[in-house]
Amino acid sequence: MGIKIAVCISGRGRNLKAILEMAKNNQALVQVACVLSDKPDAPGLAFAREASIPTVIVERQKGSKTKAQFTTDLCRALDAHKVDYVVLAGFMQVLSSKFISKFESRILNIHPSLLPAFKGLHPQQQALDAQVKTSGCTVHIVTEEVDAGPILTQATVPVFETDSAETLSQRILEAELKLYPATILGLATGQILLSQTDRGVSVMVNPSFKS
């Protein structure tokens, strides 16, 4: 038992911070081997440094580096750490098919909506525009189609008539900060089981799972 993960970020890293805290409290179960960013100045990198976790910068500069080269660099950086899962936490890059197949069923993402509703950009605004009463967040496996991979876990939050995209985003983020660490821990303990079938990965979540 026990898993080794890499966390990929591009920005403020609130999910990363929550994951690092969970890993610190569950050292025998979850090891954060490295934190990778495509932005050298991502504020979230500070959380990794505070926790003495190795950081890796893999930049993708338009024009100067092709997607294929970016993929090669990402793979090289992650191969060095032999991780079980690649955890995307606000990583603002669309991954190549080659990368996704190399880490097949082992790349996780969190999306701030109840997938399959409101895929893509600005899901909180999409939820407000659709006047739904409930939204939330989803942890899913990354596949080629964006925000469409098998769902592991979800958490719901209410949507109020007075909400703006900012207030709803903040409420969803609070749910993310519980759901993502709990889901990773669930994979480490076997509360969440992934198994490969002929038709892709199948996900089994113990009914007692709580975020």
Report the residue number, 42 or 185, with the smaller CB distance to ligand GRF: 42
Whole-number minimum distance, CB 1 to ligand GRF, in Å? 27
Report the residue number, 13 or 149, with the smaller CB distance to ligand GRF: 13
Report the residue number, 24 or 76, with the smaller CB distance to ligand GRF: 24
Whole-number minimum distance, CB 202 to ligand GRF, in Å? 24
**Cβ pair 191, 205 in contact under 8 A:** yes
Whole-number minimum distance, CB 18 to ligand GRF, in Å? 8
Give 80's contacts (C-beta < 8 A, 6+ positions apart).
none
Whole-number minimum distance, CB 43 to ligand GRF, in Å? 8
Report the residue number, 100 or 110, with the smaller CB distance to ligand GRF: 110
Q: Report the residue number whose CB is nearest to ligand GRF.
A: 90
**Tokens 């950009």, located at residue:** 121
Q: Which positions touch ligand GRF (CB under 6 A)?
A: 9, 11-16, 44, 89-90, 110-112, 173, 176
Report the residue number, 35 or 110, with the smaller CB distance to ligand GRF: 110
- Distance (Å, rounded) from C-alpha 107 to C-alpha 160? 33
- Distance (Å, rounded) from C-alpha 31 to C-alpha 24? 8
Which residues belong to the active site?
A: 111
For 195, the 3-state DSSP assignment is strand
Give 174's contacts (C-beta < 8 A, 6+ positions apart).
157
Whole-number minimum distance, CB 138 to ligand GRF, in Å? 9
